[in-house]
Amino acid sequence: MKCQLCEKPAAFHITELTGEEIQELHLCEDHARQYLSQGEAGKSPTAPALVPIVSTPGSVGHTAEELSRLDQQACPICGITFFEFRNIGRLGCPHDYECFANELEPLIVSIHGETKHVGKTPKRATRRTKVETELIRLRRDMKDAVAGEDYEKASEIRDLIRRLQETKTAEADPKASDPATSDPTASDTTASDPPAT
């Protein structure tokens, strides 16, 4: 039997059960790899099914015009546009769940049939989310500054990152002397320094 996508012999025969019906795929080694790596390679059978859902314009009830406008909207933290997400099926940062909340909701409902998490929650409070998100944005700004050879600005941002991380560490845990509870990203600062070029 030949691969469905090329002339090579089909070495992989995958039974996928994600859509309306059972799908049989017969693929050569290369195409099977490609196909399986779209998802989670054997562990996330739903991932490939997402692509058709998110890449069908109109499937979430918008006009083409609205869609193209929404598509250009970018996350202020990581810079991903909704268009980019619709194409790759992966979000850019945790903040996307906030800034694309309206666009994501119908998708989330169609996948899970629910919109609210039930189950385990982290034991530690997650009150510092704003600071964490800000760190993502600052690191990106710093990279842009370095790319634009604006080293003065880059070093200002670097100082800001340091200050934020210090505050984070200070309020993180009362027993900050225990190395195990220190800020996990503290060592990141040095590596974030703008390169000397």
Helices (H), the chain: 29-38, 47-55, 64-72, 82-88, 96-99, 101-112, 129-147, 151-172, 188-192
Give whichever of 66 and 98 is closer to Zn ion, judged by the CB atom.
Answer: 98
Given other proteins, Zn ion, none, residue 3, with its beta carbon under 5 to 8 Å by kind, binds Zn ion
Binding test (CB under 5 A) with Zn ion, winner from 96, 103, 161, 165: 96
Please answer whether residues 14 and 25 qualify as being in contact, where contact means their C-beta atoms are separated by less than 8 angstroms: yes
Binding test (CB under 5 A) with Zn ion, winner from 47, 78, 107, 160: 78
- What are the phi and psi torsion angles at 9 (to 5°)? -65, 145
Binding test (CB under 5 A) with Zn ion, winner from 6, 131, 176, 186: 6
103 binds Zn ion (CB under 5 A): no
77 binds Zn ion (CB under 5 A): yes
- What are the phi and psi torsion angles at 32 (to 5°)? -65, -45
DSSP 119: S
- What are the phi and psi torsion angles at 190 (to 5°)? -60, -45
Binding test (CB under 5 A) with Zn ion, winner from 25, 35, 82, 95: 95
Give whichever of 148 and 184 is closer to other proteins, judged by the CB atom.
Answer: 184
Given other proteins, Zn ion, none, residue 28, with its beta carbon under 5 to 8 Å by kind, binds Zn ion
| DSSP SS3 for 60 | coil
| DSSP SS3 for 78 | coil
Q: How far is the CB of 11 from other proteins (least distance, A)?
A: 6
Which residues contribute to the site for Zn ion (CB under 5 A)?
3, 5-6, 8, 28, 31, 75, 77-78, 92-93, 95-96
